[in-house]
Amino acid sequence: MNHLRDWQKDSLWALLALLLLLALPLTSPSRVVVDFIIRLCAMGLLATSLNMLVGYGGMVSFGHAMFFGSGAYVFALMLQKASVSVPVALLTAMLACALLAAVIGAICVRLKGIYFSFLTLAFQMLLHSIIITWTSMTGGDQGLTGGIPRPVFWGIDLSQTQHMYVFCCVLAVGGLLAMRLLMQSPFGYTLRMLRDNEDRAAYLGVHVWRVRLYAFVLAGVFAGLGGVVMSLFVSGAFPDFSYWTMSGEAVFMIMMGGIHVFIGPLVGAGLLQIFNDTVTRFTPYHGLALGVVILLFTLGFQRGVTDVFRLFRKSSAAAGKESL
Amino acid sequence: MELTALLECLGSVSCIVTQSSTGLIIGALLFLVAAGLTLIFGVLGVINFAHGSFYMLGAYIALTAYRLTDSYALAALAAGVGVGVFAWLFERFFMRRVYQSDVLLQLLVCYAFILILDDVVKIVWGAEFQSMGMPPAFQMPPLFIGGGVVPVFYVYLMSAAGLIAFLLWFTLTRTRIGKIIRAAAQNPSMTSALGLNTRLIYALVFSFGGLLAGLAGGLAAPVRSMSPGMGFSILIESFIVTVIGGMGSVSGALLGAILIGLIRSFGSIGFPLFVEGLMFLSMVLILVFRPSGIMGKAQS
Amino acid sequence: MLRIENLNKSFGGVHAIENLSIDFAPGTLSAVIGPNGAGKTTFFNLISGGLQPDSGNILLAGENMVGLSRNAIVHKGIGRAFQVAKLFKSLTVEESLRAALQSALGRAAQMHGNFPLMATRDRAHEVMSQLGLQHKADTVSGNLSHGDQKLLDMALALVLRPKVLLLDEPVAGMGPDERTQMMDTVQQLWRQGGLTIVLIEHDMELVFRVAQRIHVLSYGKLLAQGTAEEIRHHPKVIEAYLGKAVEHTHE
């Protein structure tokens, strides 16, 4: 494997993951697995795109869900109202997110630290208010209901579960691979430079604002892709997709999974989903349970699952020790 | 948008009076909450995302206290003190451990508490909307000022808030403890080098901030219904207020609170569905053009 | 090579730099010294673009740098090392240098291909050898010893092939042996040619030993300039330091 370039290795891993995912529903006839994976695809995209900003760029966005929501709404609206094909709707959604991120990013990225965080939160809630108010277009606080048309394209019929599953997996794996390649590219390392020492990067000739903006736009596009998957899953779009709780969950996913490893956020998303699904079965007080778990992680471990694994690997301590 | 309705109101004295009094009430309550938030930020440098939950707790404590004692004054007092104590414990056992950490970790600790407290409230008091109802002492016909309607309770609430604001100002600027607190905000290491117990100061400020929020919750109980999760909207609004007024500035919090209160009350006439949006728009504008807020000092 | 003309900078009412004019000839190794608060670091900040002067000119090979942003000035050829090393703590030594280089190549925002770029390898290795960091290439910057961190800080300034290298207290925080080593490295660099070096230093012994020309600042003004011998016996300079013992170690 060693004579392969990094990006080739990453692509192979992605292919492997995709094959595994496609094989998974064959192990169990129940819809539980399929539903879980599709939701994980959406949230995995959201969490990983947020980590491009937080973990790789040092930009803590509190409002990242605004792109998740935008992606979902634009996609669903294009299908419902403009009767376009799925690929066109998908591209339009991603383009819309890119534009939105470019405009909002141009304003936010100039600020530092907590002011950046607050401004992203403010924009997100502003968007949420617009979604709620513009009832004629968005269905207001009911969301876009009535299902979304799924015209067949390229022989793919998204109203069939299998097709839908494969499509979502391909989108998610493709999106994650793209993000991985971006983070391993020269751009990704310039972003890391900005995270570690923005001042020095400027003294080395880096256009700080510009690079940050690019990262913000890219993160927005991939979050939007996650929104598209979610929209397919719920057959519509809801204001909650752009609410602070969605952003908060995404933050928790990356904290829980680990911000220093690329798949950390995905791991966190998976764990959180497993936790949510399990706990809601036993008690209506899932907030209480989740809150306690978060406290355990933040005060106890103070780092994410994959971060802990990384430390164990480095310090050649007892192998095979569970991190949880 | 109902711009004509708004313009009509602005042309009528009675409407201005009614809406202003509503706005000032919202502002008064917001000020109490935001003052605590901004003090905690100013002195400890942390953002207490759980502050809205403090407000919620205060409301529920007041509810129970009122049901037990039939005294509104005691209920409000219990709310303040109860939440103050809770805040003390929260700071001592949880917040203190993440002062040096990333803001993300602080956010998560508070988020965890929001989740836990929301469910605790659900368990103890139930998930439905509850209300205290207007205490008999205030069940009297409203005042008519300039043709506008001003409930007596509003006047009381505004005076209470005003009194607290004055006491706060006086303590911070004229007393020794106030000077110590301000010194700790400016330069914590120097303050501790001078032999002052910064830990104690932090605990005091945090619990006092909580007390203010809890007090606000209790004071507001007669005119606000309560439900688990009510903390969030007040949290967001008090954020907006602290950002507009300037993080760390109590006078800024007062200005910001009045501004937001008025935007809310007049805004709900002109832009009924978009009132929230208006507030977030104000936050965006301030952050873009004057990030340190109206009264804030520039962050380094 | 670097000519400062009538430079002025005030903060509030305080003149940090007042009517300063200095000429740094190409290929020289000069030192800027002065008591604490004399404005030395402000001076460097002005040259490297961290601050904009109120008035005056900063001419690099005849071209005025005033008004240009930090990153533009870097591309023109001014490199800067810092009193407290500014490093990319999570990147290794080699990664840091190669990341810095890709910026010089204009490929900082390149989104295809893998980091590190082949084009950045040779220069990064060259600089690591020059400064003796080649064996630490894979060490994470945050884990380096203090001395090595200062070396990496210098390497980051060097790697872009500057015409002028500004070194802000290169031996700060080092013990006597490390200091000698560092100064030898600086001299070696200078002897290899092609570089105009200006350093700020408090360690007088080192300064007198190494610098061709010394410029003394006091309260933002140029007090004196000349060779080590001239400065050592300059009455105004001695007075400026107010009879303080010559500092051997820097706290």
The shortest C-alpha distance from A226 to chain B (Å) reads 23
Comparing alpha-carbon positions, the chain A residue that sits nearest to C73 is A205
User: Is residue A295 assigned to a domain?
Assistant: no
Sequence-ordered list of residues with C-beta below 8 angstroms from that of C160, at least 6 positions apart, any chain: A204, A205, C74, C79, C100, C101, C103, C104
User: Is residue A289 assigned to a domain?
Assistant: no
Q: Are chains B and A touching, using the cut-off of 8 Å on CB pairs and a minimum of 3 such pairs?
A: yes
Dist CA C149 CA C84 (whole Å): 9
Kindly list the residues from chain A whose CB atom is less than 8 angstroms away from the CB atom of residue B118. 287
- Number of CB pairs < 8 Å for A and B? 105
User: Is residue A157 assigned to a domain?
Assistant: yes
pLDDT value at residue C189? 86
Q: Does the distance separating the beta carbons of B239 and A251 come in below 8 Å?
A: no
- pTM score: 0.88
User: Is residue A288 assigned to a domain?
Assistant: no
What range defines the domain where residue A42 resides? 6-243
Cis peptide upstream of residue B188 (ω within 30 degrees of 0):
no
Q: Does the distance separating the beta carbons of A302 and B101 come in below 8 Å?
A: yes
The complex's ipTM works out to 0.85
Please tell me which of the candidates A190, A192, A197 has its beta carbon nearest to residue C103. Answer: A190
Joined tokens for residue B238: 């008090």
Joined tokens for residue B86: 């809770």
Kindly list the residues from chain A whose CB atom is less than 8 angstroms away from the CB atom of residue B93. none
Q: Is the pLDDT of residue A132 over 50?
A: yes
Dist CA A300 CA A8 (whole Å): 38
**C:30-59 residues touching chain A, CB 8 A cutoff:** 48, 50
Residue A317's pLDDT band (cuts 50, 70, 90): very low
Most distant CA pair in chain A: distance in Å? 61
Q: List the beta bridge partners of residue A237.
A: A144
User: Is residue A159 assigned to a domain?
Assistant: yes
Q: Is the pLDDT of residue C164 over 60?
A: yes
pLDDT value at residue B161? 87
How many structural domains are present in chain A? 1
Residue B15's pLDDT band (cuts 50, 70, 90): confident
For the C2-81+163-240 domain, the top CATH level (class) is alpha beta
Q: Does the distance separating the beta carbons of A288 and B119 come in below 8 Å?
A: yes
Name the least confident of A309-313, B44-48, B212-216, B232-236: A309-313
Q: Does the distance separating the beta carbons of B236 and A299 come in below 8 Å?
A: no
B236 neighbors A128 (Cβ within 8 angstroms): no
Sequence-ordered list of residues with C-beta below 8 angstroms from that of C114, at least 6 positions apart, any chain: A5, A6, A7, A184, A185
Under DSSP, the state recorded for A4 is S
Q: β-strands C196-200, C164-168: how paired?
A: parallel
Q: Does the distance separating the beta carbons of C111 and A205 come in below 8 Å?
A: no
B49 neighbors B107 (Cβ within 8 angstroms): yes
Q: Is the pLDDT of residue C250 over 60?
A: no
Strand order in the sheet with C55-60: C14-24, C2-11, C55-60, C63-64
Comparing alpha-carbon positions, the chain C residue that sits nearest to A205 is C71
The pLDDT tens digits for B271-298 are 877 888 888 888 888 888 888 888 765 5
Under DSSP, the state recorded for A298 is I
Q: Is C100 on the interface with A (CB under 8 A)?
A: yes
pLDDT value at residue B80? 92
Joined tokens for residue C208: 């007198």
Q: Write the DSSP string, A95-157.
A: HHHHHHHHHHHHHHTTS-HHHHHHHHHHHHHHHHHHHHH-HHHH-GGG-B-S------BTTB-
| Best to test chain A binding among B284, B289, B290 (most A CBs inside 10 Å) | B284
User: Is residue A54 assigned to a domain?
Assistant: yes
Kindly list the residues from chain C whose CB atom is less than 8 angstroms away from the CB atom of residue A207. 71, 108-109
Kindly list the residues from chain C whose CB atom is less than 8 angstroms away from the CB atom of residue A7. 113-114
Q: Does the distance separating the beta carbons of C114 and A205 come in below 8 Å?
A: no
Name the least confident of A111-115, A132-136, B142-146, B234-238: B142-146
Residues B3-289, CATH architecture: Orthogonal Bundle (1.10)
Q: Does the distance separating the beta carbons of C70 and A202 come in below 8 Å?
A: yes
Nearest to C35 by CA among C230, C198, C221: C221
Comparing alpha-carbon positions, the chain B residue that sits nearest to A288 is B116
Q: β-strands C213-218, C196-200: how paired?
A: unpaired
